[in-house]
């Protein structure tokens, strides 16, 4: 992990290849977001509900979080980071973010947002998880059948659309699914299934830039787009969260990996 953005960059459970994808060309200086791992998108997603918020995906992934606790048991190690009242020039309500991650035979991440001010506030959030796959062109995402989604690819009709069957990636894909259930990333080339189980999250964002858009991204190595898919634990747009003073909201996910028989 990096303190910068409280950014998880690797989880490699025993007996498996790394589960999180990291770009070979990621920036690692503080001005830019790290490309890969698990960026924390808060207090807005993308350009925000107003469409003009900056930086993209909020400031939390660019901030220096504080490690307040690390711990280990026989089968897991964990860390807890906090971010308190950073960038109040961009978000004018006092808050406290607590991010807890656990690395073991499973991975888990939990983001707790606390309203420490005297007025309610509304935020979007996403744990923008980059999963590593053998070849995205052979991957199937199971668990979104009949889910309603918005299509964010420029030029595509926004929708809402309804997913028919499993999701396969055959072009640039950038969709916000309204879904509460588990999502299985079935990766024949990688010989494994990664199960994403979410809590406190009404949306799952599925993203792969595909060839053309990837070629425009300086922090993505050539052809790396074939080895990643984002399955993001989120609450965005109409599912933005409004918190009363003193209240908390918890959003998180767990990753499990199993070998494809």
Active-site annotation, residues: 128, 232
Residue 62 in the binding site for ligand TA6 (CB under 6 A)? no
- Pick 6 or 80: Cβ nearer ligand TA6: 6
Contact status: 230 vs ligand TA6 (CB under 6 A): yes
Q: State how far the Cα of 58 lies from the Cα of 137, in Å rounded to an integer.
A: 30
Q: Least Å distance between CB 224 and ligand TA6?
A: 13
Quick one: which of 28, 6, 182, 190 has its CA closest to 106? 182
8 binds ligand TA6 (CB under 6 A): no
Q: Which of 57, 100, 114, 132 binds ligand TA6 (CB under 6 A)?
A: 57
The whole-angstrom separation of Cα 13 and Cα 238 is 36
Decide the pairing of beta strands 95-104 and 107-115.
Answer: antiparallel
Residue 38 engages ligand TA6 in binding (rule: CB under 6 A)? no
Q: Could you tell me which of 252, 223, 237 has the C-alpha nearest to residue 97? A: 252
| Binding flags for ligand TA6, 103-142, as an x/- string (CB under 6 A) | -------------------------x--------------
Q: Choose among 71, 70, 74: nearest CA to 105.
A: 74
Q: Does 172 bind ligand TA6 (CB under 6 A)?
A: no
Nearer to ligand TA6, 152 or 256 (CB): 152
183-187, strands of its sheet edge to edge: 66-72, 76-84, 95-104, 107-115, 248-259, 192-199, 183-187, 140-142, 167-168
Q: Which is nearer to ligand TA6, 115 or 235 (CB)?
A: 235
Which of 59, 207, 225, 253 forms a contact with ligand TA6 (CB under 6 A)?
A: 207
Integer CA distances (angstroms), 196 to 14, 39, 71, 201, in order: 18, 16, 24, 12
224 binds ligand TA6 (CB under 6 A): no
| Cβ-proximal residue to ligand TA6, closest one | 207
């Amino acid at each position: 992990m990096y303190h910068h953005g409280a950014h998880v960059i690797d989880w490699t459970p025993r007996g498996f290849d790394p589960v999180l994808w990291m770009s070979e060309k990621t920036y690692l200086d503080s001005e830019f977001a790290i490309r890969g791992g698990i960026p924390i998108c808060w207090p807005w997603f993308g350009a925000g509900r107003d469409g003009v918020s900056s930086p993209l995906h909020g400031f939390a992934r660019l901030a220096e979080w504080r490690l307040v606790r690390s711990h280990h048991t026989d089968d897991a190690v964990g860390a807890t980071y906090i971010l308190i009242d950073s960038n109040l020039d961009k978000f004018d309500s006092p808050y406290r973010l607590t991010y807890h991650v656990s690395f073991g035979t499973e991975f888990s991440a939990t983001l707790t947002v606390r309203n420490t001010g005297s007025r309610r506030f509304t935020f979007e959030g996403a744990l923008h998880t980059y999963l590593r796959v053998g070849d995205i062109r052979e991957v199937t995402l199971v668990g979104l059948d009949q889910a309603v989604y918005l299509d964010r690819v420029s030029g595509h009709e926004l929708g809402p659309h309804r997913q028919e069957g499993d999701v396969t990636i055959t072009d640039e894909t950038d969709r916000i699914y309204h879904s509460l259930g588990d999502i299985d990333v079935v990766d024949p080339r990688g010989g494994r299934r990664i199960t994403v189980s979410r809590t406190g999250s009404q949306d799952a964002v599925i993203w792969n830039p595909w060839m053309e858009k990837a070629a425009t991204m300086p922090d993505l190595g050539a052809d790396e787009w074939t080895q990643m898919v984002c399955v993001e634990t989120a609450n965005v747009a109409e599912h933005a969260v409004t918190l009363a003073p003193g209240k908390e909201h918890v959003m998180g996910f767990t990753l499990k990996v199993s070998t494809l028989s």
